């Protein structure tokens, strides 16, 4: 199935929010979560390879892609994770694997903390935990990740500025962040732009970043104070040429948040599933196959 062309099923998530969902393949269930400013089609070259061994569920986060766009400050990672948990329930999966890139990895992190009985192992792509990022802001972080602070501003300022030149803004999120492959094909960028221009999406995605700097941090600090860590196996992948790979001991950071962590760099910048799809699919497949061999989840 072509994730770029596929019409999604709208599956009800938390609080009635409908989540755009595409299901392909057969085997143990594996949920794939995208990043900013994308949608489930970012997995278009990874999902088919994984679908040979897994039932792949690719979704759009609330406020992104073709999912519903609820109004207001309802974009905490806990709320976004609740959507995905409900989708998997409605699809008949009591337990499953999760892999996320960028924002999707942060949602997956929260899912695994809140529902370790359901998320049986986790793949995170090109991130370190949000709490660690905010606790280690320096010039390099503020320069490379300036959008964290820009999008998190209130009073509608980022929304107004982005709406003045949405295509230019969207291109800026991709340009200069590819190291071994050309940027997005025109038809892929056009799909991302069409979804980004849907009513309310710009506001929703800004609310996502506001939540990261407020509500999400409160949840993360509460977990840290209580000594809560991830109890599931974690695979961390990152781009060798990207900001995360250049500036963090990725495995060392994650091991402060989870006792069972493995992973490695992939020759790419930030958008690993699109820039290095074969290597990304191979790494995810090997990790989740080993997890499945332990009987962590049941096939559909």
Active site residues: 102, 270
Element (H, E) at 149: helix 146-151
User: What is the C-alpha to C-alpha distance for residues 21 and 83, in angstroms, rounded to an integer?
Assistant: 11
Query: What whole-number distance in Å separates Cα of residue 207 and Cα of residue 212?
Result: 9
Contact in structure between 88 and 21 (CB atoms under 8 Å): no
Q: Which helix (H) or strand (E) holds 88?
A: helix 77-90
Which residue, chain included where needed, has tokens 């990725």?
Answer: 250
Taking the C-alpha atoms of residue 98 and residue 173, their distance in angstroms, rounded to an integer, is: 24
What whole-number distance in Å separates Cα of residue 245 and Cα of residue 197? 31
Contacts of 165 (CB under 8 A, 6+ apart): none
User: Look-up: residue for tokens 């057969």?
Assistant: 26
């Amino acid at each position: 199935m072509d994730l770029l062309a596929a019409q999604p099923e709208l599956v009800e998530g938390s609080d009635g929010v409908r989540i755009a969902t595409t299901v392909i393949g057969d085997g143990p269930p594996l949920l794939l979560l995208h990043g900013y400013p994308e949608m489930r089609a970012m997995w278009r070259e990874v999902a088919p390879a994984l679908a040979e061994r897994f039932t792949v569920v690719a979704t759009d986060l609330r406020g992104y892609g073709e999912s519903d766009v609820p109004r207001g400050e309802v974009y905490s990672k806990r709320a976004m994770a609740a959507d995905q948990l409900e989708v998997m329930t409605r699809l008949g999966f009591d337990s499953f694997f999760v892999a996320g890139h960028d924002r999707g990895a942060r949602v997956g992190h929260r899912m695994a903390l809140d529902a370790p009985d359901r998320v049986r192992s986790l793949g995170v792509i090109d991130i370190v935990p949000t709490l660690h990022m905010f606790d280690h802001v320096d010039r390099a972080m503020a320069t490379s990740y300036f959008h964290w602070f820009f999008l998190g501003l209130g009073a509608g300022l980022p929304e107004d500025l982005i709406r003045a030149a949405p295509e230019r803004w969207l291109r800026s999120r991709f340009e200069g962040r590819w190291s071994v492959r050309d940027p997005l094909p025109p038809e892929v960028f056009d799909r991302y732009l069409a979804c980004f221009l849907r009513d309310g999406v710009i506001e929703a995605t800004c609310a996502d970043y506001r939540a990261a700097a407020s509500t999400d941090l409160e949840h993360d600090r509460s977990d840290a104070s209580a000594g809560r860590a991830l109890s599931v196996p974690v695979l961390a992948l990152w781009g060798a040429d990207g900001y995360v790979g250049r500036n963090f001991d990725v495995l060392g950071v994650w091991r402060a948040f989870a006792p069972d962590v493995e992973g490695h760099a992939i020759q790419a910048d930030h958008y690993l599933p699109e820039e290095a799809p074969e290597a990304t699919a191979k790494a995810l497949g090997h990790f989740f196959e080993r997890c499945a061999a332990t009987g962590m989840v049941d096939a559909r």
